[in-house]
Structures are given as structure tokens and as C-alpha cells.
Amino acid sequence: MYRTLSLIFALFFAFQSFAQKYPADPASLVNPFAGTQRMGHVFPGAAAPFGMVQLSPDTDSVQMLVDGKYNKKVYEYCAGYQYEDSTICGFSHTHFSGTGHSDLGDLLIMPTTGKLRLNPGTEAHPETGYRSRFSHQDEAASPGYYQVLLQDYGINAELTATERVGMHRYSFQKTEEAHIILDLTAGIYNYPGKNIWTFLRMENDTLLTGYRQTRGWARTRTLYFAISFSKAIQNYGFERIENPAYNGFYRKFDEEHNFPEMAAKDVVAWFDVDASDSEPLMLKVALSAVSTKGAMKNMKTEIPHWDFDAVVQKTRKSWNGELNKIRVEMMTQEQMRVFYTAMYHAFLSPVVFNDVDGQYRGLDQNIHQADGFTNYTIFSLWDTYRALHPLFNLVQPERNNDMVKSMLAHFDQSVHPMLPVWSHYANENWCMIGYHSVPVIADAIVHGNFNGDLKHALDACVQTASYRPYDGIGHYMDLGYVPEDKSSSSVSKTLEYAYDDYTIVQIANVVGSSDVAEAFQERSKNYENVYDLEIGFMRPKLSDGSFRKEFDPMNTHGQGFIEGNAWNYGFYVPHNAERMIEMMGGKESFAAKLDSLFTMEIDDEHIAHNEDITRDGIIGNYVHGNEPGHHIPYLYTYTDKASGTQEKVRMILDEMYHDAPDGLCGNDDCGQMSAWYIFSSLGFYPFCPASGEYVIGSPLVKNAEIRLKDGKIFKINVKKQSPDHIYIKEVRLNGKKLANWILPASEILKGGELEFVMSKRGR
């Protein structure tokens, strides 16, 4: 079946008459397995662009707590799938893409045959549970489609998805003992007690509804669902993990067999179907954060039929529409695959978070109507403000506008006067530092992409930046820096706050609020307060005004930085790189410092502290596998050694991204790693989001077209491009030579052409 499908695609696109240099079917270049090995933390399953349903195999049931203690191994399973595993536990419907903490993994469904088993078993002994062995040779994935042969059961499993509905097609070898297991105790970052409540109703012999409520990273998350079966259920039942203290049911019914209500804290349900004919069993699984009624609406609207192949095609078409927003010609087919895989990963989150009728669950847990926007969730902002949202400002301006509106709705619904920090599924999980909704909003405004109430946006940003109880902000406001003795990771916080403050200035300038602009202009200089001139590094300061005595600029733990050290997190002043460089001894000395960063030898111990990256993600002490250094390669352009940027960018593009399961050198972090690749390949990067400027790097493409709003196109032509022509001889914008390494956003947005002439030697 799935082979036929590939053939259809091949034929379909063969007849398309695209300009030859750009791919007709970019979806065919996407490798959903890239980054599924080790630390990429992406998943290979089926999803629509920005879809809430991300239906993907989970290859182990690793628990976050074992005997009440944190189990480090759980980290590998942030997205549920690890390429090296040999078994699949089932297919769950929600995943994070590339995160370094996790949750979700909702509604694990596994088709089985033969003896009914309601526990997942182990990888070593899959036969003790419902899981199955599989081989990558019998596995395939493309945007919106995933297929695997479940060896232990002889079941060919295929998955596809629309935004809110997942669809399964299970082709059984003929059997009369086919089961669908719905394990509501399964989940990612799971632990005993994570489930708050599970609730199921067999509405009729083909329709199941219910919800699962969990406490995890999202403290109070309820996911409603409706599951439609293409064949009548013959028998069903469930295992309740704990016994209820007080239950009237048992008096009247045999509650655990063919009883249409199943509810408890932890439930594993099973459904028997007749697979003795040759018809595959199909399931449609619709999600909603609002209600089972909402899930039903979603199902009826998005997949009102049983044509699995039609859903695959429609979602692939939708993917091609999104992927085509940047059309590139590159030097190698591998680069093309890496590029479009990055595009694919960049468009997996945030996800749509309202029902088809616009209803959604807000942060206050009330149901709201999304009025004039689509509500989104999964905001990993400490990561994504850097390059992902800037990318959206070019090629997803409407979605980014909606994302900003979703953030403002979050603000309106929050009992804290704060925009999202790291939010998902109507919850704030407070992960990482800063208030990085602010630069996202500012960058959208600067790009002219926000059509909401500007004053409200500014007010939300100012209130967020002034919420004293949050993470040292009170001290920051009083002292001009976060004191390490009051709030750890104080240097990272001070640097990020100062940058965020700068972006408020940018909004205030648009709104025309000069008081706010002035006040935050002052705050944006606070990075100076944590710079220790004597040692030439950013350094934690105490509340008495003195620098902390004990200090190791190489150490990534307890030295005032989070997930970094004074070297790779201490150069973070994107809004005033010139001043920082001056402060740190001037251009020449700073360029040398950067050289050292990329070449210094560091011992394993210092790397081991950083759980988010692997050895592969490191060049010297530069860590590409994590975010705070993503601007660093571009810092050379502020010295007299821009060739350093060109060299490092091309090195990273070449070495840190591959078309292979281990193709990502660290967490993709909801697309931030991928967005870095996309921008850098195109030859420029949002060094300082919300500044209205991009910094020129070194393109990897030969040609590209960026499709902007209102049908405008920004073209990139690269002359003399080759693997050893990594340096830039000249850059022309619409035929006119660029005077410096700055590319104004306004120029891109107008549409036009950027021409690079490459060279073997740096200037």
C-alpha cells in the first residue's frame, strides 16, 4: 500500500513544470529521521505543518522517576523516539520537536495480535508486553506520513495527520485476534502519579471519546479526544491500575468488560476487532484541549471520510506549500535534503491550539474564543526568539502575527502580569530565563507583521519586564543587575534582560512612547554592570556590588551562567556588539578572543555539564548544540575580521548538520537549530532580532527565492559558489554594493535581489 503511495507521488510530481533549479516536490527532500539519533530530540512521525497532532512512534517507555529518583535516561526520549532502539511501544499523538525537557506523548495506541498484553514489556524482552520489534529497513517517513512493519505482529502500520486529527491504517495479516491497545498510562517524561485522571466513553461500537489529565511539565493539562474506528469493536475492556476507594459501579455491572465507561487515575484499555478479512483497520484520533465535543467537531471538519491516502496527499500538499516558501538550489543533494529537513523542523512548532470553531483553553483554564486569530501553543522562547520567529517574520508572517496574539492572550489570562516564558498547552512551565516573548513581539512589530493593538502589546511587554517577583527582576530593577547571591545564573539573566529591554525600546519607538523608550534604553545598558574589566569577562556580581570572588570562566555550573560559561554565554550583547567589543578591549583583541573560543581545548568534564549538546556540537569552546552562542559566529563582522564569520558559518553548516539520523548536533529546540541553518545557508542571520537588521554571513546556497507576504520575492544569487569558495568578495543588493555587513530588514521585505560573489580567500 505505502509503496503504491510513493509511486503516486513520484508520478504526480514528475509532471509538474517547475523551474528546474528548484525542487518540484521539496517534501521528497525531507528526512524526518534526521536528528532522531542521540540529542536531536526530533520525532519521525506524521504531522501537518504546525499541527497539534504529531503522531509518532515511541520506542521505549522510559520513566522519569525510578524509585522516586530522576532517571537521566529519560532525557533521550524527549521526543519519544531513539533511532538506535529496536522496538516500538506504540504511536502517541503529541510530541515536542527537539526540546531538552519534555511532556506529552499522549494517547499511545498499539495494534497487536494474539495474546492480549496490557504492559509495554521491555526492549530486551518485547514478547513480555505489547511492544513489537521493528527494523529501519521496514520503516519509511515523509512529511505527513510514517510507516513501519511491526514484526512481532506482522502488522503494517501507517500514520498520517491533519492539524487536529491523526489517522492510523493497520494492515493485519489475517487474524481473528486483533487488538488495539490504548495505554493511557503511557507518556513522555512519565512517572507514577503523573496522570491526574483518565476518562473514556464508548459512545457506540465505533466511537470512543474521553480525556486524559496530567500533571507534568504542564502542571494542569487536559487533553480531550475522540477516536473513530473503521470497524465495529467486538469486545473491549480495560485494566485499572489502582483500585477505586469508592465505586458504585461494581454493584450493577461487570465494569471492566464491554462496559462503556472507563475512568480512573490510570487506565489501559483494549479493543478487539475482527481482522479476518483483508480490510485494514483505520482509526481517526481527533484532539481538543476544550472538550470531547470539540474533538468531534475537529474530526468531522478535518477528516470527514475514511480515505487515508487522500489525507496523506492533502497534508503533503500542505507541506509543499510551506516548504516552497524558500526555494533553494544548493551544491549537493545532501545539502538540499538538510535544508528542507530544516525547513520541515522549523514548521513543526508552535502548534495550532484551538478547535476548528475557534474555542481554546486559556491559561486560566477557562474556554475562550480565538477572535480574529489562530491560537498557538508550545513557545520555547529562550530558544526560538533568536532565529525561528525571525524566520517566521519573513516566511510565516500571518502565523507569527497569530503567535504574538496568542502570547498576548496568555498575558491577558495570566494571574502573573507576564507574557509566556516557556508555555505549552494552556500552562506556563517557566523553563529557562529571560522574558523572550518581548523580542518576538518586537521583531514582529519591526517587520510590520503585527496587526493587533500596539499599545496593549507595549503594555504587556513593560509589565512583563517589571514583574518584580519573577526570577530576580526586582533586584535587576533596583541594582541594574541580577545579584548572584539572590538569584543564580545571574549573568545570563542580566545579559538576556538587557537585550530584552532593548527590544522594548524598539516597540516604544514605534508606538511613540518616549518615556518607555528612555527608561528601557537605560535598562538595556545593564550588561555593562556585570562586566569585570579586570579579568575581561562577564562575571557574577553580588548584591553588595562586588564581583563574586570564586569564579571560573570555563565552568558551566554555578558560575553565573545557565547552560554555558563566561566564554560561550558571556558575549551576549546583540543590541550593542560594538560597545561590548570596545569594553572587552577593542576589535583586534576581541577577534583574537573569538579565535581562542573556537580553538581552545576543553576537557570532557566541562562538556559533560551541558546536557543539551554532544561532543559533535562543539568547536573548541563554542557550543553550536545549544542556543546562547548562536550569534557568536557572526560577531566577527563587528571586528575587522569578517572572514572569521564566513569561515565559522560555513564550517558549522558543513559539520553540524547532516542528512542522517545523527544529523543534528544538539536539541533542535522547536526549530531554532534548524532556523539557524536556514538563515545561515541563505547568507544572513538575525544577529539582533527586533533591530530591523540582519548580519551577512556566508551563503551555502547557489540560488534561493524567499517568498514574502503580498507575493514579494527576495532572491539570492551566489556567484563562484563552491566548497572552497567560502569567503565573500562582494555583496550587492539590487545591484548596489553593500557598504557593510548589515542587511536591513526593510530591504528584504520590499523584495529584491542579493548577489554574493564568493572567493577562495578571506578579505
Nearer to a second copy, 194 or 630 (CB): 194
The CA distance from 355 to 299, in Å, is 10
The reply to whether 607 sits near a second copy by the rule CB under 8 A is no
The reply to whether 431 sits near a second copy by the rule CB under 8 A is yes
The CA distance from 684 to 742, in Å, is 9
The reply to whether 203 sits near a second copy by the rule CB under 8 A is yes
Q: Which residues, at least 6 apart from 261, have a Cβ–Cβ distance to it below 8 Å?
A: 200, 201, 202, 249, 255
- List, in sequence order, every residue forming a beta bridge with 171; answer none if it has no partner: 156
The CA distance from 616 to 8, in Å, is 39
Q: How far is the CB of 38 from a second copy (least distance, A)?
A: 23
Which residues 61-120 are close enough to bind a second copy by CB under 8 A? 64-65
Q: How far is the CB of 364 from a second copy (least distance, A)?
A: 7
- Listed ranges 212-220, 273-281, 536-544, 646-654: which one lies at the site for a second copy (CB under 8 A): 212-220
Nearer to a second copy, 206 or 509 (CB): 206
Contact with a second copy (CB under 8 A): which of 133, 201, 300, 715? Answer: 201
Contact with a second copy (CB under 8 A): which of 164, 194, 316, 541? Answer: 194
Nearer to a second copy, 431 or 542 (CB): 431
The reply to whether 739 sits near a second copy by the rule CB under 8 A is no
CA distances from 407 to 52, 60, 371, 454, 602 (A): 17, 34, 14, 13, 40
- Listed ranges 2-10, 194-202, 323-331, 439-447: which one lies at the site for a second copy (CB under 8 A): 194-202
Dig out the grid coordinates for 540 from the structure. 557574577
For residues 281 and 158, the answer to whether their CB atoms sit within 8 Å is no
Nearer to a second copy, 3 or 69 (CB): 69
- List, in sequence order, every residue forming a beta bridge with 273; answer none if it has no partner: 178
- Listed ranges 78-86, 290-298, 516-524, 551-559: which one lies at the site for a second copy (CB under 8 A): 290-298
Contact with a second copy (CB under 8 A): which of 24, 116, 241, 367? Answer: 367
Helix (H) or strand (E) holding 300: helix 292-302
Q: For the stretch 513-522, what's the b/e string if a residue is b when 16 or more beta carbons lie within 10 angstroms of its beta carbon?
A: beebbebbbe
- Listed ranges 209-217, 536-544, 663-671, 737-745: which one lies at the site for a second copy (CB under 8 A): 209-217
Contact with a second copy (CB under 8 A): which of 4, 124, 137, 246? Answer: 246
Q: Which residue has the cell 530588514?
A: 745
CA distances from 552 to 201, 485, 531, 561 (A): 58, 16, 14, 11
Helix (H) or strand (E) holding 238: strand 235-240
- Listed ranges 105-113, 243-251, 724-732, 753-761: which one lies at the site for a second copy (CB under 8 A): 243-251
Dig out the grid coordinates for 449 from the structure. 507583521
Q: How far is the CB of 167 from a second copy (least distance, A)?
A: 24
Residue window 643-682: x/- pattern of binding to a second copy, with contact defined by CB under 8 A: ----------------------------------------
Nearer to a second copy, 287 or 718 (CB): 287
For residues 410 and 709, the answer to whether their CB atoms sit within 8 Å is no
Which residues 471-500 are close enough to bind a second copy by CB under 8 A? 471
DSSP 474-523: HHHHHHSS--TTTSSSHHHHHHHHHHHHHHHHHHHHHHT-HHHHHHHHHH
Contact with a second copy (CB under 8 A): which of 366, 369, 514, 722? Answer: 366
Residue of 90, 448, 557 whose CA lies nearest to 283: 90
Instruction: State CA 549 to chain mean position distance.
Output: 38
The reply to whether 299 sits near a second copy by the rule CB under 8 A is no
- Listed ranges 116-124, 150-158, 249-257, 749-757: which one lies at the site for a second copy (CB under 8 A): 249-257
- Listed ranges 193-201, 369-377, 400-408, 504-512: which one lies at the site for a second copy (CB under 8 A): 193-201
Contact with a second copy (CB under 8 A): which of 173, 234, 235, 247? Answer: 247
Q: Which residue has the cell 496490557?
A: 118
The CA distance from 201 to 226, in Å, is 9
Kindly list the residues in this chain that would bind a second copy in the complex (CB under 8 A). 64-65, 189, 191, 193-194, 196-197, 199, 201-203, 209, 211, 213, 215-217, 219-220, 244-249, 251-254, 258-261, 263, 265, 291-293, 364-367, 415-416, 422, 429-431, 469-471
